[in-house]
Amino acid sequence: IVLEESTPESIAEALKFLYQHPVERNLMGTRGKERVRADWHWERMQSDLLDFYSQIYQWRKEQS
């Protein structure tokens, strides 16, 4: 759900929509879980961390 403005009223409307549309709410939840599983698994996090350390190492090497 995207809010055009972050006011209590717009947040309440978004929550009301989710409450009144359980099929859409469940679909959003399922899609969210799938995205987390696809993007935040250990192999990817490990790769990102190794890339980060490699960049730091290279930067330090260039500074010496």
pLDDT in tens, 1-57: 899 999 999 999 999 999 999 999 999 999 999 999 999 899 999 999 999 999 999
Q: Look at the alpha carbons of 18, 31, 33, 40 in this order and tell me if their dihedral is positive or negative.
A: negative
- Measured CA to CA, the distance from residue 15 to residue 30 in angstroms comes to 17
Phi/psi-derived region of residue 2, left when phi > 0, alpha when psi is between -120 and 50, beta in every other case: beta
Q: Tokens 């709410």, residue?
A: 25
**pTM higher than 0.95:** no
Q: Tokens 């009301």, residue?
A: 16
- Measured CA to CA, the distance from residue 52 to residue 4 in angstroms comes to 34
